[in-house]
Structure 1
Amino acid sequence: MKKGFYMEEILFPENVLKVDIKNEMESAYIDYAMSVIVGRALPDVRDGLKPVHRRVLYAMHELGVMHNKPYKKSARIVGDVIGKYHPHGDTAVYDTIVRMVQDFSLRYPLVDGQGNFGSVDGDSAAAMRYTEVRLQRIADELLRDIDKETVEFGPNYDESLKEPKVLPARIPNLLINGSSGIAVGMATNIPPHNLGEIVDALVTLIENPNATVSDLMEHVKGPDFPTAGIICGRQGIYDAYTTGRGRIKVRARAVIEEGKNGKNTIFVTELPYQVNKARLLEKIVELVKEKRIEGISDLRDESDRDGMRVVIELKKGESAETILNQLFKFTPMESTFGIINLALVNNSPQVLPLADMLNHFLEHRREIIVARTRFDLGHALKRAHILEGLKKAIENLDAVIELIRSSATGREAKDGLITQFDFSDEQAQAILEMRLQRLTGLETEKLIKEYEEVLALIADLRDILGSTARIKGIIREELSEIRALYSNERRSVIVDAEDAIDIEDLIPDEEVVITLTNEGYIKRTPSNVYRIQHRGGKGKIGLDIKDGDYVKDIFVCSNHDYLMIFSDRGQVYWLKAYQVPEMARNARGKAIVNFVEFEKDEKISTVFPVREFTDDQFLLFATRNGLVKKTVLSAYSNIRKKGVQAIILDPDDQLIKVMVTEGNSSIMIATRFGASIQFTEDDVRSTGRVTRGVRGINLDTTDYVVCADIVSNASYVLTITDLGYGKRTETSDYRLQTRGGKGTLTIKTTRKNGLVMGVVQVCDEDEVMLLSKSGKIIRLRADAIRIIGRNTQGVRLVDLSDDDRLIGVAITQASEEETTDEAGGALIE
C-alpha cells in the first residue's frame, strides 16, 4: 500500500473525489464566516436583533410571558429557546436574557427580571433556576402584529417549527439599544441612543427624505448611554453619523467638594459605558501604590440601590482638579468608544451612516404596515362577505326559514340556500350557524351597522394601500405613540472637548503673570516670584531683554484662562494661558509668532484673560481716535488660529484697549495729555463683531487716547505717567458725563512728570505692578500711594533712569505670605 493512501481509495477508487485543497479551504472558510456573520454576531438593521435575541423574545411571546402576565423561571425560557429555536449552550442563552434585563447594559431593557441579574461591578447573575423573567412592555412593540403575516418565517434548526427571520419592530431598536459583536474579519459596535431623539429624527426624514446629517443632528445629539457619563467632543459623533465610523471619549461624572479642614473630596456618580466599577477601583489603588497618582488618602465605594457613589478623599492641600484629570488620563474614568455602525442589510453586512440606518427602519415599517393592512383587508373582505349573506338572508327571512325547516339534513339545507338564493358556501354555512337571537330587531340593526362599518373599513384599508402619504402618516402616528409611552430624558451629557487629554488637565489652576515684550516675546511666571517693595524703590529686574526691545504688557491670570490677543489692526487671536511657556523671572520668553499667526507688521494692542465666553458679558473697544464699540463676548467664542476681525478701523486709527464688561458699567477713557471722560456703557449700543463703533471722547488735534478702563466699586482712580509719577484720586471726583464730550482733567502733564501712561481703578488692599521700558518690574501696595486731587501732578512712584519710561501697569491681590517691614511695605523674597 502506498504511503498516504486510504483503504477506500484502493478498494473503491470511484468513490474518491479529488479537489484542490486551497479552493476547498477558501470555500469552507467563507461558508463558516458567513454563518457566523449572519447567524450569530451581527444584528439586522430592521429590528436591531441578533438571532439569539430574536429567538428569546419570540419564545417568550409564544409562551405568553408578556409584561402584564406573571413571571416565569428563567430556566423555563432557556429550555424553550434551546429546544425549539437555538440548539446551543444554555449559558449563552441565559447570558443573553441577563443582558436584556440589565438596565446598565441596555438603554431600554427588553426583559423584566426578578432576582439577581448582576451589577456594574461585574458580579454574575444568579443561576437561572433562581431568577424569573417576563417581557418588558417596550418589547411588546417589537412583536406587535407578528401574527398578521407581517414578517417572513423560516424553518427552525430541525424544520419542526417555524421562526421569524425578523420581528415587526415598531421601535428603532438598533439605535436606541445599540449592539456589539465580533464576527469573522469584522465587528460591530453601535452605541445606544435616546428614543425621543431618534423618533424626532425619523419624523424629520418622513417629512423631508433629503434631510442632511446636520438636519438629523438637530434632533439626535449623540449617543445616550444607560450609565450616563459625559461625552467629550462632537467630531467623533459627526464622523459616525456621516461615515458609519467614529471615536468618542466618555468621561465619568465627578463632583469636587471642599472640606472644612482644607481637604477636598471627589465624588464619582456616573461611569463610562461598560466600565467595571470594581476593576476601576482596583486600578486606582494600583496607581496609588505605584505612586503614579499621589495625593489620595482614602478610597471608598458607597454605592447602593439609589445610585452610584465612589468617594475619593484627598490629602490636605492637594489640587482636586489635577488629581481628577490624572484619573481621567490613567484609568477607565475616561474611555474611548469606537463606533462601528455595522449591521445586516438583506443578509449582507454594511457599515451605515445615521441616515441609512433610519431609512432602513422606515422602509421596514412601510413593509410591515402594507403587509398588516393587506392581512386586515383580507379578513375584512371575508367578514363583509359573510355579513352580506346574513343581510340578504334577513331580507328573505321567511323563505330562508321555510327552506331550512323543509330540509331533512343540514347538507340539504346548505345546498338549498346555495341553489335557491345564490349564497356562497361560506355564506350558507354562516346562515345555518346563526343563532335565532340575531333575528330580533335590535340584533338585525347591529348586523346591518356592522356591515356598513366593515365596508367603510375596507374602503379605508384600500385607501391606505393606494396612498404613500397615508402610510407615512401611520408611521408618524405610531412613532408619536411610541415616543409618548417610552421616551425619557437624555442621560449622557455632550460637551465640547479636544480629542485627547490636553496638558491643561495636568496643570494646576494657579495664578500666573503673563509678560509680553514689544517685539512679541511672551512668557508665563508664577506671580509670587516678584517681591513687594516700598514706594520709590529701585525695583527688580523682571526679565532679561535684548537691545531695542522692552516690556509692552503684563497681567495676572490663571493657567486655565483663555488669552484674547487683540492687534492694533483690530484682529483678535485666541490662546490658552498654559500654552505660554513657563520661564524664570529673568528669562526673555518665546516669540508669540510660535503660537499665533500674525500678519506682516501687525502689532499686539492688548491682551487679557477670559474664563468663559458668555452671552451676558460684552467686549468694549476703545481706539486711538476716541471711538468705542460694544459687542457681546460670545460673538468671539469661535476664534480660529489665524484670527478674526474684531472691529472695523479707519486707516489712520488703531485699537488701544479692549475690556470685558457686564453691560451696565461706567467707562473711563484717558488721553496722553491728561484728559479723561467717564460715561455709562448704556450710551454705547451693542453691535455685531464686524462693526466700526461710535465717538467716545472728543479729542484735540494733537491728542490721542492712551488707555481706557471700567469704573468699578474701587475707591480710587490711579493715574500713572511715563516718567514714574502717579497719584490716587477719589472716584467721586470724576463726574459722569455724556459720551462724546471733551471730558475733564485727570492729571496735570508737565516735563517733570511726563505724559499719561495708564489710568486704573484700585482699592487700599490692591497691589500695583509697574513695568518699565528697560524691563524693571516694581510691585507696590496701593495704600502706599498718595491720595490727591485731579488737578495735580502726582508724586514719584519709581526712580527711573533718564532713558527709561513706564509702559505698563497691572493690579494684583495681596499675597497671604507677605510680611510687613517697619516702613509699611511688604516684602517677598
Structure 2
Amino acid sequence: MTDTPQDPHSESESQVPDGGRTVDLAIEQELAESYLTYAMSTIVDRALPDVRDGLKPSQRRILVAMNDLNLSPGRKHSKCAGIVGETMKKYHPHGDQAIYPTLVNMAQEWKTRYLLIDKQGNFGSIDPDPPAAMRYTEARMHRHTTELLDDLKLDTVEWQANFDETVDEPRYLPARFPNLLVNGSVGIAVGMACSIPPHNLGEICDAITRMVDEPDLELRELMEMVPGPDFPTGGIICGRRGIVDAYSTGRGRVTVRAKIQQETTPRGRELLIVSEMPYQVSKNEGVIEKIKQQIRNDKLTDIANVVDESSNRAGMRLVIELKRGADPTAVENQLYRLTPLQSTFSIISIALVKGQPRTLSLSELIKHYIAHRRDVIRRRTAYRLMQAQQEAHRIEGLIYAVCDIDEVIRLIRESQTREEAIDKLMARGFRIPPDHQHAPKIPARLLAQSADSPIALTRVQAESIGRLQLIQLVGLEIEHLVANYAKLVEQIEEYESILASPARVDQIVKDETADLKSKYADERRTVIQEGEVGELNLAELTPVERVAVTITHTGYAKRLPVEEYRVQNRGGKGVIGSKSREGDFTEHVFVSSTHDDLLCFTDRGRVFRIKVFEIPEASRTSRGTAIINMLNLQQDERVRAFMPISDFEKGEYFLLFATKKGLVKRTALKDYRNVNSAGIIAVNLKDDDELMGVIWTAGNDHVLLGTRRGMAIRFNESDARVMGRAAAGVKGIDLAGGDSVVGLIKIPEGEEADLLTITVNGYGKRTPTSEYLVQAEDGARPQSRGGKGRRDIVTAGRNGQVAAVRRVTDADSLMLITQHGMVVRVQADTIRQTGRATQGVRVISIRDDDQVTSVAAIREDEDAEDITDQPQADAPPESSEDN
C-alpha cells in the first residue's frame, strides 16, 4: 500500500500530542477573560489597600520584613538596602525600584500623616528633592508600626505561602492602629483607583469608640467627631459639601487651599507668607514655578518677588513679595485661582473587602475596622486560652508527680529506656488523698478530679515529668507549681469569659482604642472653612463705604476712599495725583459703594460683573491693577465700556447696544442681574461684527449713531423695541457699502449739547446735537430708526474718515491718541462750533504716515477739589434714598 503524500504544515497543525486536547475558543471571550484575570490580579495584589490594615501588599511585605529583621523602634537603624533586599528575597520579587520608593513614602511626613517608618538620612523633601540611594539611607519601624504588627504571632491573622513557597506571609496585619482611616491610601488599578484621605487619629478613635456602642450612628453625629480629612501638610478645606458626599457615598471632591498670612515689612512692603501647602502639591515644581510662569504671562502683575525661606527648623515659609500699592487680599485670591495653592482632592474610598473591591462610606470603613478588631481579639484570646490550657495541663501532671515523688522515682529507676519510663508513668494512676501532707496547698479543682478514681497522665504530662531536674523535687517546689497553676486557671477563666461575652470583646476594642489615642493623638492640622469656593460671601467681610474708582485708558483700575480726594486745607486744591505711564491717562472715574456691581462690556458682545470691592485698593499715586487680571477675557478681547450698578431692580432703565455693523438692541437692565464671574453673552454678534458702545437709557432718551464715512442718525430709543438678553438686535442705521459705526451717543431728554467729530487726519468740529433733528411743520423731531441718517462731516479730501464721535460741553477736555502713540490734550471749547456737513478745522497736527485712532474724555483729577464734582462713568442714577 502506498502512503499518500501530505502537506507537512497541515499535518503539524492537526496533530495532537499524546494525552493532550484542543479546545476551540472565541478570541473575544479569551481576551475578555484573560484581561479580567489580569485586572483582578492588579487590583488585589498591587493597587488597592485591604480594608483591615489599610496596606497594599508591597507596604505590608516591607513592614513584615523589617519585623523579621527585628528593626523595632528601640533598635539601631538599618541600611535600607538590607531592608529592600530582605523584602525582595522573601516576599516581594518585583525589584528594588518598586520597593524602595514605597519604603520612602511611608517615611515622608508630608505624605504620611502618621509615619510607619522611622527614617535616618536624606529621604527627599516637599520641594520635591529625590531621596538618596538606599545604600546611604537607614530606617527602622516607627512606634505606629509596632501597633500594626502587635499580636501577629498569636494566630490573629490568616497566612499564605510566599511567591516560592519557602516561607509564609500574613494576608493582612492585626492592625490595632487604624491605618486606613488615619493614613488613607492612594493607588491606581485597572479600571479603578482609590484615593482615601488621611484623618486625625484622635477624632477617628472617638468615632470608633462611639460606633462600637452605636453602629447605626447617623452621618451628622459622626461628622461631629470626624469633621473632615486632616492632611499631613495642613492647609484649609473650603466647605463641607464634598466631605459630606465622600462620607455618605464614598466619593466626593474637596477644595484645599494653602494657609497664607499677610505681613508688612518695616519699610511698608506687603508680604504673603505661605506656611502650609495643599496635600500632594510640591513646593518648587508645583507652586513656585507656576507663580513665576503666571508673572511672565502678565497674569500676576502685582508680585515683585518669590523667595523660599523654608528650613528644617523654621518649617515651611514661602515669601511672596508684593509691589507697592498692591492689595494683598486680591493677590491672594489670584494665587488661589491661578496656581496650585488651591487644588482639588478627589476622595474615592475603594478598598478590598474579603478580596473584593468595594466603595465604602466613612461609617462602613469604621465598621469594617471594628469587625476586624473583634475578630483579632477573639482569635488572640482563643490562642492564649489554648496556650494557658496546655500549660495548666502540663503543670497538673507535675503537681501529681511531686505529690507522689517516691513512686515516680521508683518507676523511672526500674525502666531501661526513656520510652519505657514514659509508658509506666502513663499507665500508673495518680491521686492526691485528702490526708496528703500537701493536700491543703492543692487547688480544690485538682483534689476533686482524683477523689473518685486515679488520674492517668497524658504523654505531654509524662514527658514534662521526665524533664524535671532533681533540684525541682524539693518540697517547696509544690508551692511554686500551685501558684503558677492558680494563675493559669485565673487566666483561663478570664479568656473563657471574654470569648463568651461580645460585650467584653467590645470593651477591649474601646480600651485599646483609648490607649492609642492617649499615646499617639495630636492636634488637627487642616482647618475646615465654612462656605464653598466661589460661594464665600466676601461682601459680608467688606465694610460698606463710598469709594472713588478710576480706570485708565490702558485698563488699569484702582479704588480708594472718597475722603482721600478731599482738599487738605480750606481753599486749597485736591490731592489726587496718579503716576500713570507715559501715554496713559485716567479715562473713567466714578464714585460708588464697595458693594456695587461693575459691568464690563467687551467688543465681542460679552459682559462680566465684578464687585467694586474686588478692585484692589491703592494709593493716590499708584497706577492700579490691570483690569484684565480680574476678567476671564479671551485672546485679543477688549473692554469697550464700564458701568457701575447699585441696584438692577431700581427704576425702568435699559441698556442700549450699538454694533459696528449698525445694529442696535435695547434690553431691560434687570436682565443682566445674574451675570457671573465667567461672563455671559450681552448681545449676539455675527462673526464679522463687534460691539462699539453701550449706554443706559431711561426710556425716553434720544440715541445718535456716528459712522466712519461721516453720517449720523438721531432717533428715539423707543424705536428699538425691548428685546431679550441674547437677541442680536435690529437695524439702527442703514450703512452704505464699506461704512461702519464708530460711536454711540446718548442725548437725554431736554439736555442738548454738542457732537464732537474727529477724523483720522486730525480735523474736527463741534455741532449742536439739535441740528441732527429733522425740521417739520409741527416742529423738530428725530429721524426714524433704520434710515441712512444725515451728513455729519465731509470725509473726502483732507479730512479722511471719522475716527470718533463724542458728546461734549465747553467745560470738557479731550485726549487724542494716534496710531504711532502720539497723545495730545485739547480743550473742547477750543474746537470751533460749525454746522453739519462741513469739513471742520485742524485739531491736531500729525505726520503723513500717522492718523488719529481714538478720542477719550479726560478725567483729570489733579485739578479737582472734590472727586464727586468730576464727570462720572455712564451709569443709571441712584435712588434718592441712597443719596
Query: Shorter-chain TM-score category?
Result: 0.5 to 0.7
- SS of corresponding position for 2:106: helix
**Per-residue deviation, residues 49-99 of structure 1 (Å, max 9, x unmatched):** 111111111111112111111221111111111121111121110010010
Q: Select which of 191, 198, 223 maps to 1:192.
A: 198
**Per-residue deviation, residues 114-159 of structure 1 (Å, max 9, x unmatched):** 1111110121111111111111111011111111111111111122
Q: How does 1:448-527 map to 2 (within 5 A)?
A: 448-500=482-534, 511-512=545-546
Q: Select which of 321, 341, 353 maps to 1:345.
A: 353
Supply the distance in 1 between the matched residues of 2:343 and 2:95 (Cα, whole angstroms). 32
> CA 1:584/1:37 → structure 2, altered by over 3 Å: closer, same or farther?
closer
- Does the 8 Å CA contact 2:562/2:867 hold for their aligned counterparts? no
Supply the distance in 2 between the matched residues of 1:530 and 1:128 (Cα, whole angstroms). 64
> Given the alignment of the two structures, is residue 151 of structure 1 paired with residue 157 of structure 2, yes or no?
yes
> CA 1:512/1:584 → structure 2, altered by over 3 Å: closer, same or farther?
farther
Partner of 2:104: 98
> CA 1:186/1:425 → structure 2, altered by over 3 Å: closer, same or farther?
same
> Given the alignment of the two structures, is residue 229 of structure 1 paired with residue 235 of structure 2, yes or no?
yes
Partner of 2:393: 385
> CA 1:205/1:827 → structure 2, altered by over 3 Å: closer, same or farther?
closer
Alpha-carbon distance, 1:559 to partner? 4.6
Partner of 2:384: 376
Supply the distance in 1 between the matched residues of 2:192 and 2:566 (Cα, whole angstroms). 67
| Structure 1: runs of 5 or more not aligned | 515-524, 535-554, 562-574, 595-816
Partner of 2:584: none
Q: Select which of 279, 282, 294 maps to 1:287.
A: 294
Partner of 1:761: none
| Structure 2: runs of 5 or more not aligned | 430-455, 549-558, 569-590, 598-609, 616-630, 632-640, 653-860, 871-883
> Given the alignment of the two structures, is residue 590 of structure 1 paired with residue 648 of structure 2, yes or no?
yes
Alpha-carbon distance, 1:827 to partner? 8.2
Alpha-carbon distance, 1:826 to partner? 10
> CA 1:335/1:826 → structure 2, altered by over 3 Å: closer, same or farther?
closer
Supply the distance in 2 between the matched residues of 1:592 and 1:471 (Cα, whole angstroms). 70
**Per-residue deviation, residues 397-435 of structure 1 (Å, max 9, x unmatched):** 232233333434333322221112321111111112122
Q: How does 1:140-539 map to 2 (within 5 A)?
A: 140-279=146-285, 280-306=287-313, 307-421=315-429, 422-500=456-534, 511-512=545-546, 528=562
> CA 1:213/1:503 → structure 2, altered by over 3 Å: closer, same or farther?
closer
Alpha-carbon distance, 1:509 to partner? 8.1
Alpha-carbon distance, 1:16 to partner? 4.3
RMSD after superposition:
3.6
TM-score (norm 1): 0.63
* Residue identity opposite 1:145 in structure 2: D
Partner of 1:116: 122
- SS of corresponding position for 1:305: coil
- Does the 8 Å CA contact 1:233/1:495 hold for their aligned counterparts? yes
**Per-residue deviation, residues 578-599 of structure 1 (Å, max 9, x unmatched):** 699x9989967411799xxxxx
Deviates more, 1:170-179 or 1:69-78: 69-78
Alpha-carbon distance, 1:101 to partner? 0.8
Q: How does 1:725-740 map to 2 (within 5 A)?
A: none
> Given the alignment of the two structures, is residue 24 of structure 1 paired with residue 30 of structure 2, yes or no?
yes
Supply the distance in 2 between the matched residues of 1:296 and 1:529 (Cα, whole angstroms). 28
* Residue identity opposite 2:306 in structure 1: L
> Given the alignment of the two structures, is residue 44 of structure 1 paired with residue 31 of structure 2, yes or no?
no
* Residue identity opposite 1:362 in structure 2: I
- SS of corresponding position for 2:164: coil
- SS of corresponding position for 1:458: helix
* Residue identity opposite 1:281 in structure 2: I
Supply the distance in 1 between the matched residues of 2:645 and 2:163 (Cα, whole angstroms). 79
* Residue identity opposite 2:309 in structure 1: E
Supply the distance in 2 between the matched residues of 1:530 and 1:326 (Cα, whole angstroms). 27
Alpha-carbon distance, 1:442 to partner? 3.9
- Does the 8 Å CA contact 2:200/2:229 hold for their aligned counterparts? yes
- SS of corresponding position for 1:148: coil
Q: How does 1:653-802 map to 2 (within 5 A)?
A: none
Supply the distance in 2 between the matched residues of 1:4 and 1:69 (Cα, whole angstroms). 70
> Given the alignment of the two structures, is residue 9 of structure 1 paired with residue 43 of structure 2, yes or no?
no
> CA 1:389/1:510 → structure 2, altered by over 3 Å: closer, same or farther?
same
> CA 1:396/1:15 → structure 2, altered by over 3 Å: closer, same or farther?
closer
Supply the distance in 2 between the matched residues of 1:172 and 1:588 (Cα, whole angstroms). 55
Q: How does 1:53-72 map to 2 (within 5 A)?
A: 53-72=59-78
> CA 1:282/1:531 → structure 2, altered by over 3 Å: closer, same or farther?
closer
Alpha-carbon distance, 1:221 to partner? 1.4
State how many pairs are aligned.
Answer: 562
Partner of 1:137: 143
Supply the distance in 1 between the matched residues of 2:220 and 2:546 (Cα, whole angstroms). 41
- Does the 8 Å CA contact 1:42/1:183 hold for their aligned counterparts? yes
Supply the distance in 2 between the matched residues of 1:67 and 1:379 (Cα, whole angstroms). 28
Supply the distance in 1 between the matched residues of 2:6 and 2:47 (Cα, whole angstroms). 45
Partner of 1:806: none
Supply the distance in 1 between the matched residues of 2:465 and 2:145 (Cα, whole angstroms). 42
Identity %: 43
* Residue identity opposite 1:282 in structure 2: E
Supply the distance in 2 between the matched residues of 1:456 and 1:287 (Cα, whole angstroms). 73
Supply the distance in 1 between the matched residues of 2:495 and 2:256 (Cα, whole angstroms). 48
- Does the 8 Å CA contact 1:78/1:90 hold for their aligned counterparts? yes
- Does the 8 Å CA contact 2:241/2:532 hold for their aligned counterparts? no
Supply the distance in 2 between the matched residues of 1:248 and 1:172 (Cα, whole angstroms). 23
**Per-residue deviation, residues 164-185 of structure 1 (Å, max 9, x unmatched):** 1111110111011100111111
> CA 1:271/1:34 → structure 2, altered by over 3 Å: closer, same or farther?
same
Alpha-carbon distance, 1:556 to partner? 9.2
* Residue identity opposite 1:452 in structure 2: A
Supply the distance in 2 between the matched residues of 1:471 and 1:71 (Cα, whole angstroms). 37
- SS of corresponding position for 1:452: helix
Supply the distance in 1 between the matched residues of 2:477 and 2:651 (Cα, whole angstroms). 94
* Residue identity opposite 2:480 in structure 1: K
- Does the 8 Å CA contact 2:203/2:226 hold for their aligned counterparts? yes
| Bigger Rg, structure 1 or 2 | 2
> CA 1:378/1:360 → structure 2, altered by over 3 Å: closer, same or farther?
same
> CA 1:27/1:296 → structure 2, altered by over 3 Å: closer, same or farther?
same
- Does the 8 Å CA contact 2:330/2:614 hold for their aligned counterparts? no
Alpha-carbon distance, 1:510 to partner? 8.5
- Does the 8 Å CA contact 1:819/1:828 hold for their aligned counterparts? no
- Does the 8 Å CA contact 2:250/2:362 hold for their aligned counterparts? yes
* Residue identity opposite 1:409 in structure 2: T
* Residue identity opposite 1:80 in structure 2: E
**Per-residue deviation, residues 500-534 of structure 1 (Å, max 9, x unmatched):** 476959x99884379xxxxxxxxxx9753998799
